[in-house]
Structure 1
C-alpha cells in the first residue's frame, strides 16, 4: 500500500488544476537508447498484466486493475484497441478479458440502428466514432498515468482463425458500410483500399485523442507474423503514426512486434524505436538486435506452465541480457478478478499475486543500478559451480549485475525434478584490480542475503553465494580507495 500511496502523491503534482503539465512522453534515453527515459529518470518497464481487454470489455474494472499494478510495484500494461476481439472459446483462456460477453464489447466504431452483429446487438458503422469508447479509453489512460503505469496501446491484431474474423466489426457482415468483404488474411495487406482507409482513419483519430499522455507508446500490430499481415502494411501504419504526430507537435514511441522467440531484424522503419518479442527463452534475441540501438522488449509470455519460477527467471534473464521491457501475461486477472487474485485458472500460462511483487524486485534492482552506463556482458562470469544459468550486465571495472538460476528448458515436463533448494554456488568473476563489495539479493523477498568486501589484484576472483532456492541475484560494486 505504501507504494500505491507514493504513486498517487507523486502524480498529484501533474494533475492539480492550474499547474502546468510539462512532462514529455516516455522516450529512449539519450545516453543509452537501450533504456527508456520517463519523468526525468532512466526506466525499465516491468509488468504482469491482464489479457489485453481492459478497455474493450465493459465488464473489466480497470481502476481496480491499475491500482493493483501500482500496489505491486509494476509500471507496464498492454491493452488492445478494440479493432480486434476474441470469443469465449479462444485459446483456452479462462474468463478471457478479450472475449466480452454479448453487448459488453465496446470499440472505436459506433453501433448503427441496424441489427445483425455477430453475437447480438446492432451492426457497426465504420464511418462514425463511438464517443463512449474514447471517453473510456482516456479515463483508462488517465488512471494509468496516476498509478505510474506506462501503456502499450496495441492498434491492430491479426485474425488467427475464421471465427475471430467472423466476430470483427471490419468484417462486412458486421458493419453497414459493406467494407471488409475479403478473406481474413487480406485485412492488413493494402489490397483493399476501403479497409485501409478505415484503419488509417482510426489511427489518426486515436493518436489525436491520446496526444497529451506521457505514459504511452504505440504498437503497430500484435503478432503480425500470423494471419497474412504484410510488412508494407505495417510500414504504412508506422508512417501514419509518425506523420500524424508530427502535425500535432507530439512524439510517442512506436513499437513493432518482431517474432515469437528470436529473429534478427534486417530492416527497420526509421520511426520504430521499440522491438518487441514474445516467448523469449533463452533471451538471445536481445544480442541479435542490440546493434539497432533501440529498446528491446519481451511483451508477452506464457505456454510454459503455471509456476512462478518460470516467469520470474524469464524476466530476470531478459532484462539482464540487455532488455528494456518485460511484461508477463498474467491470467490471474479476469473481469471477475480485476485485482489479479484468481488462482484456479486453466489458461495457457502463469501469473499470480505472489509473482507480481517478485517481478517488482527486478524493477527496483534495475532502478538501483547506473543502467545507462551498463551493457550486456558475456565475458566477466568465467565459471559457476554447480552448473547454473548466468546472465550479466555490467559497466566493466565499476559495477556488475549478475543473475543465477537453475537451468530450465522452455517447457519443462517436470519442473519439480529441475528445482534445486538450499544451493550454495561458487562464482568466478574476472575483475580489474581494486576493492569491491558483493551484495547478494533474494529474488523472492528482495532481502539482502549476504554482503562482503574484498580486494583483488586483477583477474579471476571467486565468490561464494549464500544458500538459496533456485535463483539469486548479485551486485558487485567497485569501492573508492
Structure 2
C-alpha cells in the first residue's frame, strides 16, 4: 500500500508541475474527416510511408536521428516508428546486425531515472521507477521536433512484450533491475491487471509521456508492439487506452491511438472507440484491409520483414497493401544502425531488407498516390476483368474518374528460390472496364519513377484492353478521365 501511495503521489506531482490543458496550436495528425480510412495532417490528406530503423532512435543515445530523418526526407518518406524505452533488446536478439534496440552499456535511455545503487543487468545503476529521467524527455522532445521539421510523423510505441527470459532480465520493470522491488513476476504477466504495483508504474509512465509530449502535432501513440506474442488479451491494452484518453481529456487537441492487432490478418471484434489506427505486421497478402475496412478507421502495416533482403519483396508488399486500401506502410529497414544512421549498411545479416534503392522506390509509390485525390477512392478488384499473363493486381478507384492500378509477378509470403519467380520483358494485357469518356493512361516504372508509356483515348464505355510496355516484375497504371 505504501508503494502505491508513493507512485500515485509521484504521478500527481508530475501532472501538477505542468499545465493541465494542451498548448493551443496545430492539431495533431487525425483521421480524414471525409474518409477516415486515411489521415489528415497539417490540412492535407495523408498516407504514411516509410522504410524505418529498428525502433531504437530514442532509447539508443548513439543513434543520430537527425541523419536518419534527413535520409527519410530525401526520398519523400514521412513516417517512423520509435520504441519508448520501457523495453530494450540485447545484441543477440533476433540475429539483427548492430540492432538499434540494443544500445551499448551506458548508452540506454528509458523514461525512468537511474538510482545510486549498482546492479542493473544491462550495465550501470538500477532504475528508480518512481522518478523520471530528464535526459529521456529532452531527447524525446528534440527527436519529435527534428522529425516535425522534416515532415515526418512519429509513432511512439509505449510498451513491448518480453519475447524471452533474456530480454526480461534486462528490462527496468524487472524487480532485479529497480530499487523499488517492483516486477517480481513472470515475463508473461508484465502486461496484465494482476500486479497493481506494476500496473501503477505503467499508468504513471503513460500519463507522464502523454503530458510531456502534448504539443507535438506529428505524433500518435501505439499501446504495445505485438501484444499477441506475449499472450495477453485486450483488457490491459484497453486500460492503457483509457489512461491516454483521460490524460488528454482537457487538452485542446488529442492524439490518435493505435493498437497492434496481429501478424498477417485478423477480424477485429468490438474495437475500443478511442482507437483510430489498427496496425498489422507481415501482411502478405493484404487481405486484412478488406476484412476490417468496414470499421472506417485506418488500417496500417507498421512492420514487415523476415522474407529475405531483396527490394522487390518489400516494394511489391507496399504497393499491394496501400492499393488494397491501407493508409500506413513501414518496412523494417536493417540498413540503419547507430554506425550507419543514414541507412548505408549493405552487408547486414538481419532477417529482412532495406536499402537506399528501396527507399527511393517507396518514395515513388508515395508520390504516385499523392497524385490522386485518394480520399475519394476505395479498393475495387472488379475493374480488371482479365489479365495476361497471370499477375497479382490491386486497384484503388474513384469510380468513373480515376484509377490507380498495380501489377506484379505473383510472390508468396516466403520463397526458397526467389529468382525463379521473377521475370523480365513482361508485356501484360489487362482488360479494364471503364465508363464512356475521354481518358488518359500512364504506365509508371516503379523502380525509376518515369512514365514508361502514355496515351489519350476516347472510350465508348465497357471493357477495353490495355497493353503494357515491357517491364521487369512490376508496373503501375494511372487512369484519369479528362474533363
| Smaller-chain TM-score bracket | over 0.9
Q: Distance in 2 between matches of 1:455 and 1:429?
A: 14
Mapped contact 1:78–1:153 kept (Cα < 8 A): yes
- Alignment equivalent of 2:329, drawn from 326, 335, 338: 326
Mapped contact 2:334–2:352 kept (Cα < 8 A): yes
State how 1:437-448 maps to structure 2 within 5 Å.
437-448=440-451
Are 1:398 and 2:401 an aligned pair?
yes
Shift of 1:119: 2.3
State the secondary structure of the residue aligned to 2:227.
Answer: coil
Q: Which residue of 2 aligns with 1:373?
A: 376
Are 1:285 and 2:288 an aligned pair?
yes
Q: Distance in 2 between matches of 1:231 and 1:375?
A: 30
Mapped contact 1:200–1:240 kept (Cα < 8 A): yes
State how 1:26-105 maps to structure 2 within 5 Å.
26-105=29-108
Q: Which residue of 1 aligns with 2:223?
A: 220
Mapped contact 1:189–1:228 kept (Cα < 8 A): no
State the secondary structure of the residue aligned to 1:217.
Answer: strand
Q: Distance in 2 between matches of 1:195 and 1:21?
A: 34
Shift of 1:382: 0.8
Q: Distance in 1 between matches of 2:220 and 2:360?
A: 24
Structure 1, residues 226-277: CA drift from partner, whole Å, max 9, x if none?
1132210000000011111113332110000000000000110000000100
Aligned positions, number: 461
Are 1:262 and 2:265 an aligned pair?
yes
Q: Distance in 2 between matches of 1:174 and 1:23?
A: 40
State the secondary structure of the residue aligned to 1:288.
Answer: helix
Q: Distance in 2 between matches of 1:286 and 1:33?
A: 13
State the secondary structure of the residue aligned to 2:363.
Answer: helix
Are 1:165 and 2:148 an aligned pair?
no
Q: Which residue of 2 aligns with 1:351?
A: 354
- Greater shift, 81-90 or 428-437, is seen at 428-437
Q: Distance in 1 between matches of 2:284 and 2:443?
A: 24
Structure 1, residues 288-310: CA drift from partner, whole Å, max 9, x if none?
00000000100000010000000
Q: Which residue of 2 aligns with 1:193?
A: 196
Are 1:340 and 2:343 an aligned pair?
yes
Are 1:248 and 2:263 an aligned pair?
no
User: Root-mean-square deviation (CA), in Å?
Assistant: 0.9
Shift of 1:456: 2.1
Q: Which residue of 1 aligns with 2:18?
A: none
Shift of 1:21: 7.8
Mapped contact 2:207–2:247 kept (Cα < 8 A): yes
TM-score, normalised relative to structure 1: 0.95
- Alignment equivalent of 2:121, drawn from 110, 118, 134: 118
Shift of 1:397: 0.6
Are 1:174 and 2:177 an aligned pair?
yes
Q: Distance in 1 between matches of 2:251 and 2:190?
A: 28
Mapped contact 1:220–1:256 kept (Cα < 8 A): yes
Shift of 1:125: 0.1
Q: Distance in 2 between matches of 1:393 and 1:248?
A: 36
**Structure 1 alignment gaps of length 5 or more:** 1-19
Mapped contact 1:262–1:284 kept (Cα < 8 A): yes
**Structure 2 alignment gaps of length 5 or more:** 1-22
- Alignment equivalent of 2:439, drawn from 433, 436, 439: 436
- Alignment equivalent of 1:150, drawn from 143, 150, 153: 153
Mapped contact 1:208–1:248 kept (Cα < 8 A): no
Are 1:417 and 2:420 an aligned pair?
yes
